[in-house]
Structures are given as C-alpha cells and as structure tokens.
Structure 1
Amino acid sequence: MASDTQGNRPLSEEELQELVASSDAGARDPAGTIGVFLAIVAVVWSVFQVVLASPLSNVLLPGSVVNNSRQIHLAFAIFLAFMAYPALKSSPRNYIPIQDWIMAILGTFIALYGYIFYQKIVDSGGLADNTDKWFALVGLILLFEAARRALGPAMAIIATIFLAYVFFGSSEWVPDVIRWKGATLKKAMSHMWITSEGVFGIALGVSTKFVFLFVLFGALLDKAGAGNYFIKMAFGALGHLKGGPAKAAVVGSAATGLISGSSIANVVTTGTFTIPLMKRVGFTSEQAGSVEVASSVNGQIMPPVMGAAAFLMVEYVGISYVEVITHAFLPAAISYVALVYIVHLEAVKRNMPTLGNRVVSMGRTIGGMALFFAGFAGLCYGVQFPVKWVTALMPDGSGLVLSVLVCMAYIGLLWLAAGVEDLVPDDPNAKEVELPVVAEIYKAGLHYLLPIIVLVYFLMIEQKSPGLSAFWATALLFVILLTQKPLKALFRGQSNMVTTFMEGVHDLWQGLIDGARNMIGIALATATAGVIVGTVTLTGVGQVMADLVEFLSGGNLILMLVMVGLLSLVLGMGLPTTANYIVVSSLMAGVVVELGAQSGLIVPLIAVHLFVFYFGIMADVTPPVGLASFAAAAVSGGDAIRTGFTAFFYSLRTVALPFVFIFNTDLLLIDVGWVGGIIVAISAGIAILVFTAGTMGYFVTRSRIYESVALILIAFALFRPDFFMNRIAPPYVQIEPAELTQALDTAAEGGELRMLITGPDFDTGATKDTTVVMTVGPEQGGQARLDAFGLLLIEEDGVVKLDEPMFGTPVSSSLESFDFYADDPVRIASVQAPSSQPPKELIFIPALLLLALVAFVQRARAGRESEPEGEPA
C-alpha cells in the first residue's frame, strides 16, 4: 500500500476492496466446498447472535449456552480469524494451509474450555489447576496470533508486553517505580483465562451482547442499499454548493459512520466516490483524502454506536446507555458542523468551482437539512404517542397490532419507492457529473429509515437494552431484505417476483456473512484488550501510570491533561476503535480522575472516558500509524504522511473539545435543563465555528494574525465563560476547617462543599492532596450530615484531623489511598462553600460584541479589496 501511495497512484476498485477486506473482514476467500463451509459458519454465528439477543433466547437456547455465550462468541471469532486472515503477505489466499486448520480448531476448543469443563472449574473454586494453566497459556498465544492477523501487530505486541509485565514485573532490571511482586503462571492464567477478569471480561461481554447486533444491523442496512441512498442524498443536497463534494463527503460519512464500527471501511466506502469529485473541484489529493479521513473518524465519536464504545462506556462508567449518548451527542454534532465549515472556508479561500449547472441557495439547503433532521427527530419522538394509545386500547394484543402497523408503513413507503427508479452508484470519473436531485430520489429509500426509527424508539423512548433494541431493528431489516425487491416488482407490474425474492435471500445471506466477518476483528480486539484490563486489575499498574504522569507534569493540571492525551494517542496507534477505547480507558481514565482531584478539579467519570476516547481515536488520523489516512491516500493517490498531517489539522476541533468539556461539563449536557441545554448548544455551535475560522485564517475574508488570535479568544470565552466569571466573582468562599460542622448546619440541601484533604499516601508515605466534594444531604443538623457522609473529625490544636471512614460510606472510596495510621495525620486543609455569582452567560455579551467588531472590520476590508483598481473607494 505504501508503495502505491508514494507513487501517487490511486488504487483500483479491486485493490481498494482488498484493502478493506484485509483490514476489516479478512483477505482470504477460498472457493468451492471450503468457501461454502466458511460462509455457513459465518451465517451460523450471525444467527446465533440474533437468537441470543432475542426476547426468546432463554427458551430457544439452553441455559448453559446463554451463560457461556462469551466463550462461544470468541470461539467463532478465533476459528474464522485463522480461516479468513492469512498469516503473512506471502501466504496463500485461495486455500487454507493445514497449520491454519490446526490452529483454528485448537483455538476454538480452548475458547470453549470454560464451557466444556464448566463443572470442573466450578468444583475447583473458579481457579486454574496445573492442566488448566497450560491450556490457558496456549489459548492466549493463539488469541494473540489471531489478533495479529486480524488487527495488525500493534494489539498483539501491546498485550504481550502487558502479559510479560505480569510475569517479569518483579525482576531487578524493572525500574522500581513500576516493579510489582509478580505472579505465578497458575495465578496469571487463572486471572486471564479462567475467571471473568481477563479475556472473558466486561469488554468481551459487551461485544457478545450488544456490539455484534449493531455491526450486523449496519451490514444488513448497507446490503439493503441504505449506504448508497445516504451518499446520494448528501450529494443531492450539498453537491452543487461551493466545495460541495467535500461537504457531501462530511454528511455522507456522518450517516455511514452512525452505523459503522470502522473508520477505514467508512473512508473507502464513501471515499471512492467523494475523493475524485473533491479533486475535480480543486482540492489537492492530500486535502481530499484528509476531509474524508476527518469525517470518517468523526463517525466514531457520533452516537448511537460510537464504534461500539458507547456500550462499553455503559459498563465502565456505570450509567445508562441513554445517558451516554446524551452526553456524547453535542460535542460530536458541533464537531461535524465545524468540519462542514472547514471545507466551506477552503472552497471560499480557493474560489473553487461548483459541480453541475443548478443554482442552489446555501440558506435554503441548510434550512431544508435542518427541517429534515428536526422532522426525523420529531417522528422518532412522536411514535410513542400512537404506541401508547394502541397499548392502552389492546394491552394483550398490542404487539401484534403494532407489528401490523409497522408493516403497513413499510409497504406504503415501498410503494413510493417503486414509483422511482432504483438508485445505482454513480461514476465519479464520468465526463459529465449529473448530481442527483433530492426531490426526485428521496422516495427511493424512505423505507430505510424505518429500522433506524425502530432502533431509536426502543433505545430512547422505551429505554430497552441496546441488544434487544438492535434485535428488533435487525428483525425488521430481515423482512426488508427479503421482501423489498419482490414487492417493488409487484407494484411495478413485473412478473419476476420469484427471481427478485431469491435476490433478496442472497442479499440477506451475504449480509449475515458480512456482519460476521466484520465482527471478527472487534471480537478479537475486545478479548485481547481483556488481557490488558486483567493486567491492570492484577498488578495495579494503573497507579503507576498516575505516578508517572504526575512526575512528568510536575503537578500542572493542563500539562497533565496534555500528557494523558498524548499517551492515549500513542496507546491507540494501530488499534480499532473498540480496542482503542478499552486500552486507553483502562490505563488513563483513572489517572485523570485521581490527578484532577489532587489539583482541585472534580470531573464526572463520563467526561474522563470521553476525553481519553477522543484522543485514542485520533491515532487513526495521526502519522506514522494513522490507518485511516493510509486508506484515504490509497484512494486519492496522495502522500499518506501529508494526508495524515492535513487530516490532523482539520481535526483540531476534535483535539480541543475534550479540554473544553473536562473544564466545562455543560457541553456534555450534565445537570443542564432544557433551557440551559439550548443555550449551551447555540453558544457551543457559534464557538466551534469561530474557533474554526480562527484556526483556518479566514472569516469574512482572510484574517490577519491579530484577528485570528481574537477569534480564538472569542471561541474560548463562548466555550468557557466560567473561566472569566470566576475571576470577576470567585465561585467559592474559604471556610476554616474547624467551622465545617456549622457550615453544614446552615447549608441548603443539595448544596456542595469542597474539602481539600492532605495526608500521607498509603503506598509511598509521601504527602498528597485530594479534593472531595460533599453534597449536603436531607439530614437535620451539621453533625448528622457529617455522619451520613462518613467523616470522623478529630480537632486538636486548631487542626481538624480525620479518622479512617467506615467502609461503604460515601467518602470511603475517595480517601482509601491515604494512610490513616502513619505518624503524620490525614487532615482537612481547607473548606470551600459556594458563593453567589452572576450568571456566567453574561460573558457571552462582550465576546459576541468583539465577534461583531471583527466581522465589521473584515467586511469593510473585503469591500475595499473587491473594488476595481483606479476607482474611488
């Protein structure tokens, strides 16, 4: 691939499909009986996962299968990995060598080891014996080899390093700062393979329960034709604008990114059409590739799937799925808005031509798109009311009635689709580019929105589990794939219904295969990442990472966050989104929480996880390993390294946003009401556009340096109004620690007091600080509130000391790292109580006035520059 991109030769369609296959679904495709056998195995895996997610899983599957579904999930993935992915570039593609069969069968057996010998393991207390440990070790080796083939060497190397640390972390040649006591082979293998702490931990459980169904949903939706429909709609709406192909690339990639777990597949799927058209209107090969990379990688931060990380966050953060996507939505949405603005500014700066001969109003286009999304959101929300009416009228038969209503809606939309021609992919290299007209094509795919509405309804309104929600949406897609072609033929008066039905069966069969093959890498990634998570829980290396970052940052909060971001970037290199998130969150999330608390910054856990996730996925963009950038360069024929650096520049807002929402959690809509949420959305939308204009050096016209600086400052004020307001009117007042009880006595219920606790660290003995937030409870009296929180105060010589809190009290987990029995006491260093402060939104007024001034100055200058020479101004 590198040689092709260096030679500035775009890859052919066949080479691009091989690139996606080798990175996402396996490059080997044996023909004949073996090919049919592997297809059947893939379909069986997909069907098993659909049945497992169904409401009838406990009826259709034995209890032992349901309880050990993680082992079965991994067994399918390991078997198909050795079948689909060759060991080396020189390995055969058209048949499977005998050694791969041996490894596949052995790997499958060992993956099922806990299922087959379940009773034996239970009888031994869930611990490995001398036989188990050797099987587990061979299983890990085979897992690492399967991961190397499916995901590249990065994942296997990182996991191997962590496993080596488990065994050799006690050696003298290991630096003292990261040395630990070590573990025996039996203990390590028991932890990694036999228990649910390692390979078969939370991550693989999420992959089994939720992720497969969403990946399958995406594969079936694409096979039905939705991917092409979304791209055509994006080009129909935006293709005629200045820089239109780039804007359409952003919107099209956003639509496919919603349901895709792979930024590489997204780049190639949409990029084969968008990149040639972007080059056609004046973007360089590197810029065209970079726009596609930035928009495809952005798809990984966009709810509802977020590259499968959303489901992992539910488990790791301990909040509901609805809360996760609510918190993640606004930063992702404004990031896409900024990307559209970036390509608009590039087009305006270069005065790029438009495609086609239609004149389209920018305002009407934006208004139309906003109306569509608002209407779609309103439809998803409004569905609940007829559902409630039907349920109230017929509580026993409501399921059947609602199914009939959905089928009627589907048939009606399909009748509309039959009235227009089927959509076929366009040729971006055609001499004359005829961009589609939205008014003529929108009917062709309205029925593709039905499964999405069903998915959103069950997730957001009914608040069912992600697995069950995806099951119902996938079940509807089964119906669509089997019936859309014969029903269209019927509505069009054609007689080829049997042929078209068989085409639908083939599409469904192929969709089931694609879903399974796309899951191989994700299942192996979550299983291999389980080794890293297991190492963290077994060795406590997470604390070592915190000590290392604290030492290197010198305790400076901003520097600490920058270092965590860089470490997340490095740890994420070469990893798919899911594995990327597991690795960076396991190692770095705790670091931000602990060091932030020491610096007085109390950050909600979801903000921390999103922070490390954003930086982790930037590894797909950033050289030298940016896989999405290499894929885009393969499509465009541009230089891969330059494409990566340009894409990183276009992604600056994705780098800046995590710093914003760490300090201003309003951006994540945490504890923000409807009115506050609307204000935050508007101000953040303006801020991201102003930040984009500042970094791109163009607003109304080309900006001067001081204007760019002013724009970035305005964006900062809109994103962080609290930064300025806190300096005008401090948000807290200092209280003497000895007066804590009295302060609690007079505090209003729900108020917060912040306490700075200082004392010796339990592990090192060094003095450390941490900030604890105390939320005032409903108890009456200051002492009662202290007791409820778990604080035991001892006042001596004007110093308020702390005794060790009782286990299980609200404060116990925050203070568990202190040594309460050392010579130096643990004490309250200071207490802060909230003070009255003007609304921070007042800062918006001077910021917007300064923005208006910059716009006025630039508009005047643009007017002078546009006047013909020799004429008076």
Structure 2
Amino acid sequence: MTDNQTQNRALSEEELQDLVASSDAGARNPSGGVGKFLAIVAVVWALFQVVLASPLANYLLPGDVINNSRQVHLAFAIFLAFMAYPAFKSSPRNYIPITDWFLALLGTFIAMYGFIFYEKVVNAGGLADDVDKWFALVGLLILFEGARRALGPAMAIIATIFLAYVFFGSSDLVPDVIRWKGASLKKAMSHMWITSEGVFGIALGVSTKFVFLFVLFGALLDKAGAGNYFIKMAFGALGHLRGGPAKAAVVGSAATGLISGSSIANVVTTGTFTIPLMKRVGFSSEKAGAVEVASSVNGQIMPPVMGAAAFLMVEYVGISYVEVITHAFLPATISYIALIYIVHLEAVKNNMPTLGNRVVSMGKTIGGMAVFFIGFAALCYGVQYPVGWITSALPNSALVLSALIFVVYAALLYLAAGVDDLEPDDPNAEEVELPVVGEIYKSGLYYLLPIIVLVYFLMIEQKSPGLSAFWATMLLFVILLTQNPLKAMFRAQSDIAGAFRTGVTDLWNGLIDGSRNMIGIGLATATAGVIVGTVTLTGVGQVMADLVEFLSGGNLILMLIMVGLLSLILGMGLPTTANYIVVSSLMAAVVVELGAQSGLIVPLIAVHLFVFYFGIMADVTPPVGLASFAAAAVSGGDAIKTGFVAFFYSLRTVALPFVFIFNTDLLLIDVTWWQGIIVFIAATIAILVFTAGTMGYFMTRSRIYESVALVLVAFVLFRPDFFMDRIQPPFSMIEPTELVSAVDTAEVGQELRFVVSGPDFDTGEMKDMSLVVPVPEGADSAAKLEAMGFMTLEEDGLMKMEEPMFGAPIANQMGSFDFYADEAVRITEVKAPKVQMPKELVFIPALLLLGLITVLQLGRVRKEGVTA
C-alpha cells in the first residue's frame, strides 16, 4: 500500500476491497473445500449468536453453553482469526499453512478450557492449578498473536507490557511511583484467564451479548441493498447543491455509519462514489478524501449503534442504553451539521460549480430533510399506540403484530416493484445524472422497517440491545429471503425460484460478512480485558491518578488535554473499541476524581464520551490514521496531507468533548424538554459559528478580528454559565462553623457543596476534595447532618470531621482520607446555591455581536459584488 500512496495513484475497485478485507475481515480467502468449511464455521458462529440473543435461548441451548457463551464467542474469533489473517505480508493468501491450523485449533481448545473443565474450575473456586496456569499462559500468547494479525502490533504490544508489569512490577527497573509487589504466575493466570476479571470480563461479555448482533444487523442490511439506497437518496437530495457531492458524502456516511462500525469500510463504501464526484466539482484529492474521512469516522459517534462503545458504556457507567444514546445524540447531531456547513463554506469560498441541471433551493432541501427526519422519529414514537391497543385487545398479539409487519412490508415492496431496482452509478461517467428523490424513494422504503423495529424495541419498549437487535435481524432474514421472489411476483416475472436462490445467497454471504467483521472486535475486547485485568489486579489505576494529577498540577484542563493525547496515541494502533476500553479503564475515574477536587462535578458518562470522541480521532490523525490512508487510496491523494486536512475538518469533534465536560446540558443531563430545545438551538448556532470562525469564512472571507469574534460568540453560546457565574456568583459562601444553621435553613433536596481538607491516607500529605451532597429529610439539623454522613466537631475555630459511618452517602468518597493522623480532617468551605438569573440571558449580547459581524460582512459582500 505504501508504494501506491507514494505514487499518489488511486487504487482499483479490486485493490480497495482487498484493503478493506485485510483491515476489517482478513486478507486470506482460500478456495475449494477449505473455503467452504470456513464459510460454514462463520455461518455457524452467526447463527449461534442469533440463537443466543433470542427469547428461546434457554430452550434451544444447554445451560452450560449459555453460561459459558463468552468462551464460545472467543473460540470462534480465535479460530477464524488464524484462518482469515495471514501471519505476515509474505504469507500465503490462497491456502492455510499447517502452523496456522495448529494455532487455530489449540487456541480454540484453550478458549473453551473453562467450559470443558467447568466442574474442575468451579470446585477450585476459580483458582488456577499447576496445569491450568500453563494452559492459560499459552492461551494468552495465542490471543496476542491473533490480535497482532487482526489488529496490528500495537494492541499485542500494549497488552504484553501490561502483563509484564503484573509479573515484574516489583523490579528495581520499574519507577517507584508505579512499583507494586508483583504476582505469581498462578495468581496472574487465575485472574486473567480462569475468572471473569481479565480476558473473559465485561468487554468480551458486551461483544458476546450485544455487539455481534448489531454488526450482523449492519452486514445484512447492507447485503439487502440499503447502503446503496442511502447513498442514492443523499445524492438525490443534496447532489445538485454547490459542493453537493461533499454534502451527500456527509449525509450518506452518516446513514451508512448507522449500519457500519468500521471507519475504513465506510470510507471505501461511500468514498468510491463520492470522492471522484467531489474532485469533479473542484475539491482537491486531499480535501475530497478528508471530507469522506471526517464524515465516515463520525459515523461511529452517531446513535443508536456508535460502533460498540454504546454497549460498553452501559456496563461501565451503569446506566441504561436509552440514557447512553440520549446523552450522545446532541453532540453527534450538531457535529454532522457542522461538517455539512464546512463543505458548504469550502464550496462557496472556491466558487465551485453544481452537478446536474436541476435547480432546487437550499431552503427547500433543508426543509424536506427536516420533515423526513421529524416524520421518521414521529413514526418510531407513534408506533407504540397502535401496538399498545393490539397488545391489550388481543391474546395472540405477537402473531397479529408479526402479520401486520409483514403486510406493511409487502405493501412497501409492492411500491418498490413498481420502479426499477437501484444500480450503483459510475462517478467517472461523462454525464452525471443525479437521482430524483421523488422517483427513487419508493425503491427502498422497506429498508426503514428493520430500523424502525430496532428503534422501537430500544427506545419505546426499552428491551435489551441484544433482544432488540435480534428482532430487527429476524426481520432482515425475512427481507433477504423474500424481497427478490416477491418483487418477481409483483412484476409478473417467471424466475421466482432463481430470485429466491439469490436471496438465500445474499443471506448466506451476509452471515459470513457479519462473522468476519466480528473477528477483530472479539479479539480486541478479549485482549483489552488483559489491560483491564491488570488495572484491577495491581491497583495501577490509582497510581495513574496520582501520576496524572502530578503531571497536570491538579489543573483539570491540562489533565483533559493529557487524557485526549493518550487516547490519540493509543488509538493510532488500536481499533476504537479497544482504545476506548483501555483509556476509560485507566483514566475515567481519574477525571471524575480530579474534577471533584477542582470543584467541578463531572458525570461519568461525560468522561466516557470524552475518551470515546478522542479515540475515534485516531483514525483521522497522521501519521497512522487508517481511514485517511483508505481515503487517499481512493482519491489518489497524499495520505498524510489528507489526514491533516481531515483533522482540521474534525476540529469540532475535538472541541465538543471539552465543552460537554464543563456544560453537561449538551448531553441533555437534568434538562427539561423545553430546555433541551433551547440547548439544541443554541448549540447548533454555536457549532456553525465556531466552524465559520475556524474556516475564516462567514458571509464572505473573514478578517482576523471577525474570526476571533466568531469563536468568542461560539464559546458564549456553548458556555453561558462561564460568564453568568462571573456576573452573578451561583453560590453563597457559608462559614464552616455556621454549618449547623445552614443545614437547618436549607430546603430538602437542595445541594450543598463542601470542600474537605485533610491528610491523604497513602501519602500523609494534605489534600482538598469537593463534595456535592443533597440535604435529606430529618427532624433537626443534627439528624440531617448524620444522614448526609457528616460527623462533625467544632474545635479551635475549625469544623473537624470524624470518619463517616459505613454506608453513609459520602463514605466512599472520603475513603482516601486518614482520619487518625495528627492533622484533623476538616470542612474548609461550605457553599449554598443562590438564586441566579437565567444563564441564557448571556445569549443576547452574543447574538448581537453575531448580528454586527453579519452586517459588516454583508456590507462588504454588496460593496465588492461578491455573492455567497
């Protein structure tokens, strides 16, 4: 690939598919009996996962298999990894060497070790014996080799370093700050392989329960033809606008990002069509590739799937899936809006031509798209009412609902049969005929049905992600098997049997694609489990907290920058999912703790989204950004330049995580519905203004002071509290000795803020910690303080504290203080919330400044005769 990049040559379609296969699904594809055998294994894995997620799993699968499903999942992943991924670039592609067969079978056996010897492991209490420890060690080495092949060397190297730290953490070569006593081979292997603390931990469990079904759902939806339909619709809606191909690339990539967890596959799938058309209207090779990279990578932050991270957040943060995607929705949406605006400004700045001869106003286009998305959301929400009526009125409602869905599907398929099937267009054709939405929309409306089913079960019924994906996948099974024969019937064609065989082939290939796409994710989550296991076994997480606090000097902004850089560096060699697991395991608690010490209460979900956003940026950032290399392979541009331009286009993805750490309204945390609407409008204006400021173009080319002013306006709209807190402080200071009377006068539920100072239990040095504690009900102030966990004693003019009772609200947070040292733990600050003017009032001067800049630039436009 390097030679191709050096020569700036666009790769052929065959070479691009090989690029995607080698990075996502494995470059080896043996023929003959071996190829058929591997295809059968992949299909069996997919069907096993479907059955495991089904409501009938307890009847169809033995209890031992369900209890050990993580072992089965990893066994399939390891076996297929050694079958699909060659050891080296020079290794054979058309057959499998005997060494790979041996490693695959041995790895499969050791992955199933806990299942095969279940009684022995249980009777030993999960502790490895002398035989177990050697099998576990060999299993880890085989896992690391599989990860090296499927994911590149970085994942295996990082996991090896962490494992070495487990064994040699007591060595003099290890810095004092992270030195620990070390562990024996038996203890380490028990933790890493025999128990559910390491390889078979939460991450692999999420991969087993949820992620496979969503990856399979995406693969089947793409096989059904939805990917091409989404791209065509995007081009039909936006292709005629200035910079239309780039805008269509953004929207098309957002849509395909819903069904694809891979940045590289997304770049190649949509980029082979969008990039040549972008170049045709005036984008350079690097800018065309960068637009595709930025929009494809952002597909991973778009709910409801978000790669695999959304499901991991459910487990790590301890909130429901609906809450995760609710918090993630607004930043992802405004990020895509900003990206469309970026390509619009690029097109306007360079006066790019339009494609085709249709003239449709931007207003009508935006209005039409808004109506579609609002209508689709209303449909997903409104389905619950007829479903509720049917469920309450009929005893066999499941059969009736299934029949109704099939009737709706058949009706939409009848509409589709009335128009020609969509064929991929040639972007290099002399005359580009843009599709007309009014003519093509009928051809794929039925693709929305599985998405509606998925969203309905997730958001309305609030079923588990696995069960929701199961029902949506079942509908896709039906669609793949029946769409071709039913269309043939509706069109009065004779070869119905041939059409059915085509559907069976599509389903078979979709199952294979789903399994092959899961190999890397399965190995990534398993290998990341070693890193998580090291953190839990050694306690290095607390050491990392101390180290980061030392390096950042306790400054939260500096610490966030360090966490972001760590995510970027690790992400250069790790897939997004593994990067997220590693960095969140190490740093999420650190950010929350240091935020509390700075007086900022940071919700855990905000930190996890922060880490995730920076993790996906690694696919963009040079020198390793894999998505940038894939886009350069399509465009024929320079990969490094493409990466730098894509990073510039993605600045809003870099800025947003910092914003929502300090303004959790953007994550829709504790906001009412009307506040949510205000936040959405303000954030959308803010991201557009920020984009204009960083692009140096608004109504016309901006002067430096105008760009600075635009960025300032964006900051005010994003952080109105920053300015309002300085105009009118949000808290009143209370002397610690007045605590009793303050609690007595405070309303029940009112949150008081405390700063507690005292000696650290480990170091003995004095430290501060901020606490936010709601005032509970109580007969008097003493009872309220006791319920809050404060055991206080006023002495020498100080409000001293005794150790909180076990189970008290503040007991866990106060566990790092030494209450028996010479220096007493004491309350140094108490703050009570004050009535404050609405922070939204700050929007008024910001919008006036924006209006002034608009007037100034429009004046120049009229004076210079420039048309925007």
TM range (shorter): over 0.9
Q: Within 1, Cα distance between the matches of 2:145 and 2:8? A: 33
Aligned to 2:4: 4
Moved more, 149-158 or 477-486: 149-158
Give the equivalent residue in structure 1 for 2:71.
71
Q: Cα distance, 1:571 vs. partner?
A: 2.0
Q: Which residue of 2 aligns with 1:185?
A: 185
Contact 1:584 1:612 in 2 (8 A): yes
Separation (CA, whole Å) in 2 of partners of 1:143 and 1:536? 19
Correspondence for 2:787: 788
- Which residue pairs with 1:412 in the alignment? 411
Aligned counterparts of 1:592 and 1:409: Cα–Cα separation in 2: 49
Tell me the CA shift for residue 643 of structure 1: 0.8
Instruction: Verify the 8 A CA contact 1:667 1:680 in the aligned structure 2.
Output: yes
State how far apart, in whole Å, the 2-side matches of 1:641 and 1:758 are. Answer: 50
Q: Over residues 694-735 of structure 1, what are the superposed CA-to-partner deviations in whole Å (9 max), with x where a residue is unaligned?
A: 000000000000000000000000000000000000001111
Distance 1:308 1:16 in 2: 25
* CA–CA separation in structure 2 for the residues paired with 1:867 and 1:192: 66
Give the counterpart letter for 2:360 in structure 1.
Answer: V
- Name 2:505's counterpart in structure 1: 506
Matches for 1:608-623 after TM superposition, within 5 Å: 608-623=607-622
Shift of residue 244, structure 1, vs aligned partner: 0.4
After superposing the two structures, state which structure 1 stretch, 714-723 or 427-436, moved more: 427-436
Indicate conservation of the 8 Å contact 2:793/2:801, yes or no: yes
2:239 counterpart residue number: 239
2:469 corresponds in structure 1 to 470
Q: Is the 8 A contact 1:261 1:577 kept in 2?
A: no
User: Aligned equivalents of 1:666 and 1:603: distance in 2?
Assistant: 12
Partner SS for 1:816: helix
Structure-1 residue corresponding to 2:852: 853
SS in 1 for 2:618: helix
The equivalent of 1:825 in structure 2 is 824
Q: CA deviation at 1:779?
A: 3.1
Q: For 1:495-644, what aligned pairs fall within 5 Å after superposition? A: 495-644=494-643
Q: Residue by residue, what CA displacement relative to the aligned partner does 1:365-401 show, whole Å, maximum 9, x if unpaired?
A: 000000000000000000000001101111x211011
Partner of 1:729 in structure 2?
728
The Cα offsets for residues 85-113 of structure 1, whole Å up to 9 and x where unpaired, read as: 00000000000000000000000000000
Distance 1:867 1:449, change over 3 A: closer
Structure 1 pair 780–405 and aligned structure 2 pair: CA distance change class (3 A): farther
Which amino acid is the alignment partner of residue 176 of structure 1? D
The answer as to whether partners of 1:326 and 1:668 remain within 8 angstroms in 2 is yes
Where do 5+ consecutive residues of structure 2 fail to align? none
Secondary structure of 1:756's aligned partner: strand
Q: Distance in 2 between matches of 1:251 and 1:189?
A: 47
Distance 2:827 2:609 in 1: 31
**Stretch moving more, 710-719 or 591-600:** 591-600
| Distance in 1, Cα, partners of 2:389 & 2:221 | 30
Q: Shift of residue 775 of structure 1? A: 1.1
1:307 counterpart SS class:
coil
The match for 1:708 is 707
- Whether the 8 Å CA contact 2:222–2:259 is kept in 1: the answer is no
Mapping 1:38-187, distance limit 5 Å: 38-187=38-187
Describe the SS at the equivalent of 1:785.
helix
In the TM superposition, residue 746 of structure 1 has moved relative to its aligned partner by 1.5
Residues 343-358 of structure 1 aligned to structure 2 (within 5 Å): 343-358=343-358
Report the 3-state secondary structure (helix = DSSP H, G, I; strand = E; otherwise coil) of the residue aligned with 1:304. Answer: coil
Aligned with 1:758: secondary structure? strand
SS in 1 for 2:754: strand
Q: Deviations over 1:612-660 (max 9, x none)?
A: 1111111111111111111111111111111111111000000100111
Match of 1:671 in 2: 670
**Alpha-carbon distance in structure 1 between the residues aligned to 2:291 and 2:806:** 53
Counterpart residue number, 1:871: none
Stretch deviating more after TM superposition (413-422 or 797-806)? 797-806
User: Is the CA contact 1:133–1:190 (under 8 Å) kept in the aligned structure 2?
Assistant: yes
Residue 808 of structure 1 deviates from its aligned partner by 2.3
For 2:443, the equivalent position in structure 1 comes to: 444
Does the 8 Å contact 2:297/2:616 carry over to 1? yes
Q: Within 1, Cα distance between the matches of 2:65 and 2:785?
A: 49
Q: Is 1:262–1:576's contact at 8 Å kept on the other side of the alignment?
A: no
Q: Is the 8 A contact 1:731 1:836 kept in 2?
A: yes
- Counterpart of 2:206 in structure 1 is 206
1:327 touches 1:670 (CA, 8 Å); kept in 2? yes
Whether the aligned pair in 2 keeps the contact of 1:10 and 1:636 (CA below 8 Å) is: yes
How far 1:867 moved relative to its partner?
7.5
SS of corresponding position for 1:165: helix
TM-score using structure 1 length: 0.99
State yes or no: 1:843 paired with 2:847.
Answer: no
Q: How big is each residue's C-alpha offset from its partner over 1:768-811, in whole Å with a ceiling of 9 and x where there is no partner?
A: 11111001223342222222222211221111122222222211
The farther-off stretch of 796-805 and 446-455 is: 796-805
Distance in 2 (alpha carbons) for counterparts of 1:808 and 1:136? 38
| 1:581 to partner: Cα distance | 1.0
| 1:744–1:782 CA contact under 8 A, matched in 2 | yes
| Paired amino acid for 1:330 | L
SS of the equivalent of 2:767 reads strand
Q: Which segment drifts farther, 582-591 or 707-716?
A: 582-591
1:168: Cα distance to partner?
Answer: 1.1
* One-letter amino acid of the structure 2 residue matched with residue 597 of structure 1: A
The CA deviation string for residues 217-263 of structure 1, in whole angstroms up to 9 with x for no partner, is 00000000000000000000001100000000000000011121111
Q: How big is each residue's C-alpha offset from its partner over 1:464-511, in whole Å with a ceiling of 9 and x where there is no partner?
A: 000000000000000000000000000000011000000000000000
Q: Does 1:288 align with 2:285?
A: no
What corresponds to 2:833 in structure 1? 834
State the Cα deviation string for residues 327-384 of structure 1 (Å, max 9, x = none).
0000000000000000000000000011111112111000000000000000000000
- Alignment of 1:390 onto 2:390: yes
Q: Is 1:800 aligned with 2:810? A: no
Distance 2:42 2:269 in 1: 22
Q: How far apart, in 2, do the equivalents of 1:109 and 1:807 lie?
A: 45
Report the residue type matching 1:162 in the other structure. Answer: F
Number of equivalences: 867
- Alignment pair present for 1:772 and 2:763: no
2:308 maps to 1:308: yes
- Structure 2 distance, partners of 1:379, 1:480, is 20
What is the aligned partner in structure 1 of residue 251 from structure 2?
251
Q: Relative to structure 2, which stretch is displaced further, 476-485 or 161-170?
A: 161-170
Aligned partners of 1:844 and 1:587: how far apart in 2? 38
Alpha-carbon distance in structure 2 between the residues aligned to 1:800 and 1:138:
58
Match in the other structure for 1:365: 365
Deviates more, 1:680-689 or 1:549-558: 549-558
Cα distance in 2 between the residues matched to 1:402 and 1:738:
65
Deviation at 1:20, TM superposition (A): 0.4
Provide the C-alpha distance between the structure 1 equivalents of 2:235 and 2:480, rounded to a whole number of angstroms. 25
Preserved CA contact (<8 Å) 2:757 2:767? yes
Moved more, 134-143 or 3-12: 3-12
Whether the aligned pair in 2 keeps the contact of 1:127 and 1:194 (CA below 8 Å) is: yes
- Counterpart CA distance in 1 for 2:91 and 2:398 is 52
SS of the aligned residue for 1:348 comes to helix
CA distance in 2 between counterparts of 1:756 and 1:762 reads 17
Q: Report the RMSD for the aligned CA atoms in angstroms.
A: 1.0
Q: How far apart, CA to CA, are the structure 1 residues paired with 2:2 and 2:590? A: 37
- The alignment partner of 2:181 has SS state of coil
CA contact (8 A) 2:277 2:427 kept: yes
- Is structure 2 residue 749 aligned with structure 1 residue 750? yes
Of stretches 557-566 and 618-627 in structure 1, the one that deviates more from structure 2 is 557-566
* TM-fit CA distance, 1:555: 1.9
Bigger mean CA offset, 779-788 vs 33-42: 779-788
Asked whether the equivalents of residues 745 and 780 of structure 1 are also in contact (C-alpha less than 8 Å), the reply is no
Q: Percent same amino acid at aligned positions?
A: 80
CA deviations 1:139-194 (Å, max 9, x no partner) are 00000000000011111111111111111111001111111111111111111000
Deviates more, 1:660-669 or 1:814-823: 814-823
Unaligned runs of 5+ in 1: 869-873
Which secondary structure state, in structure 1, belongs to the residue aligned with residue 100 of structure 2? helix
